[in-house]
A and B are shown apart, each in its own frame.
Chain A
């Protein structure tokens, strides 16, 4: 089966990971590759998510069976493992840990990440035959990717106590700042491809609070971001690093070296001090 390159000048090795069609299935059409420019032609309205995480290219293969079920296999080369992990954290609601370095099955859809690759296997429907084929395909692709990647270091800074299981999202594009909680419309903290940001959920559903930690290139940038935080969220007449807002919740923030740390919707000032204290310890460790 030949590969049709769509606006790609240098093919990459994601082709090596393409799985064979399981028994009873056949490849439906030519495989296709897309880069960040041609991705718009492929994913109607959805390309930006992958581009915002630094996608380099994607290969897609369609397979079909006698009953005309269809499965779409997509392997994204996200340039760096932190990006593959980031896209996964954006989409998953829990890590079932079956495939690659993190995976989740939704009805008719399997996603996982491994090394710098993010994989999506998606069917138009779901039945036992499809589920079994998706499982085989995911296993094969995961086995073919023989390398593993590192999660972004910033993830390891999160205090574990009261952290919601799989309740964090890693990103370096400001659009994802509001993933769990509305913080700001604009890129007030200067998040870009040179920063690493993580947003994490703490506490129970009834008592949810959100920790934002951003790693900048240097202290000057984190200080500057803190100034924005203070201007936008805190009482400028006071040196307090936390305050209670109209709805009764607390918010607070600080810097630790090149890191900006903020907590939103906290139940108390004590909780702010505790969480920020803990992550500061982790940074300084």
Chain B
């Protein structure tokens, strides 16, 4: 479409040549995102190596926070008096790894958070007293394609906080960013982690899962800006789709909620030109 910034951003985010369309980034105003990978994070049965996971988390957070030591980095995330909700995702086929949930809880306890004031939850957050009284949230989930919102993203992960879920469905879930502005969530998210160990890059069937369409990427994407983290994950998914299908195969429907979280809701930046992407670890088949 002519004369439409929105269309240009949409096209760039969803498909190809983003840098060309967004133009030069504004120095000093970048959203920092860390992509860290380790090809040994999963064994042949898909089990997570907890020691390597901790190493990935520590290294990633040190880079993200700019701290020298991991203790200082975690101290940026958790305070001893926090009431902490770890917002996970329990989707049957691709849940947040239990090892990651537990490790985040251990890190919080290590920083002095009282165990009774920590809860890990997904679909029960509205009835979870810890979440309802929370002062801090960690948003953690795997990325996958989704047949109405384009992708299951960090932005979408807060849907279980909504009182009226269908209210977020119009226009392929265009306004999911609003979920991050609810009284129970607003300003509380300390860290966003998009799990990219085995992302789902295409969907088949009513329940939108097929083993054929997951691949071992062995990555975590971490950031303070959920829009920037989602935007980065989305670009990897799009690149995988192009590699797999041999041509641009747009997500259907496009994940417009990520773009609109930036352009409409000003929650963060989806513009790759305004994201400082730090890549750590295994470099093969990075796709970004």
Contact = CB atoms under 8 A, between A and B. Distances in A.
Given A45-B146, A122-B207, A182-B15, A107 B212 contact: yes
B4 A91 contact: no
Nearest to B144: A45
Interface stretch (B40-48, B125-133, B164-172): B164-172
B207 to A, nearest CB: 6
A48 interface: yes
A178 B211 contact: no
Contacts of A183: 1
Interface of A: 40, 43-50, 72, 74, 90-91, 106-109, 111, 120, 122, 126, 175-176, 178-186, 188, 205, 208, 232-233
19 contacts: A40-B165, A45-B152, A47-B148, A48-B148, A49-B147, A49-B148, A109-B204, A111-B204, A120-B206, A175-B171, A178-B14, A179-B250, A182-B7, A185-B7, A185-B10, A185-B254, A186-B171, A232-B2, A233-B1
Interface of B: 1-2, 4, 6-7, 10-11, 14-15, 91, 146-149, 152, 165-166, 169, 171-172, 204-208, 210-212, 246-250, 252-254, 256
Contacts of A126: 211
A182 B14 contact: yes
A109 B165 CA distance: 29
Given A122-B207, A182-B250, 16 more contacts: A44-B207, A45-B146, A45-B148, A45-B152, A46-B208, A48-B147, A49-B148, A106-B204, A108-B210, A120-B206, A179-B253, A181-B250, A205-B246, A232-B1, A232-B4, A233-B2
Contact of A109 (B14, B147, B205, B247): B205
Nearest to B15: A182
A108 B250 contact: no
Secondary structure at the A interface, as helix, strand, loop or mixed, is mixed
B160 to A, nearest CB: 11
Contacts of B253: 175-176, 178-179
B71 to A, nearest CB: 39
A111 B4 contact: no
A109 B210 contact: yes
Contacts of B256: 185
A46 B256 CA distance: 17
- Closest 10 interchain pairs by CB? A48-B148, A205-B247, A232-B1, A179-B252, A49-B147, A182-B11, A175-B253, A107-B212, A106-B204, A109-B205
Contacts of B11: 182
A122 B205 contact: yes
A233 B211 CA distance: 40
Contact of A176 (B2, B146, B252): B252
Contacts of B152: 45
Q: Which of A45, A109, A184, A188 has the most CB of B within 10 A?
A: A45
A178 B251 CA distance: 8
B205 A178 contact: no
Contacts of B207: 43-44, 46, 72, 122
Contacts of A178: 14, 250, 252-254
Contacts of B254: 178, 182, 185
A232 B171 CA distance: 20
Contact of B148 (A46, A120, A184): A46
Nearest to A47: B148
Contacts of B148: 45-49, 175
Identify which of B91, B171, B246, B253 gathers the most chain A CB atoms within 10 Å of its CB.
Answer: B253
Nearest to A91: B204
A205 B91 CA distance: 34
Nearest to A188: B1
Contact of B252 (A44, A90, A108, A111): A90
Contacts of B1: 183-184, 188, 232-233
A90 B256 CA distance: 19
Contacts of B91: 44
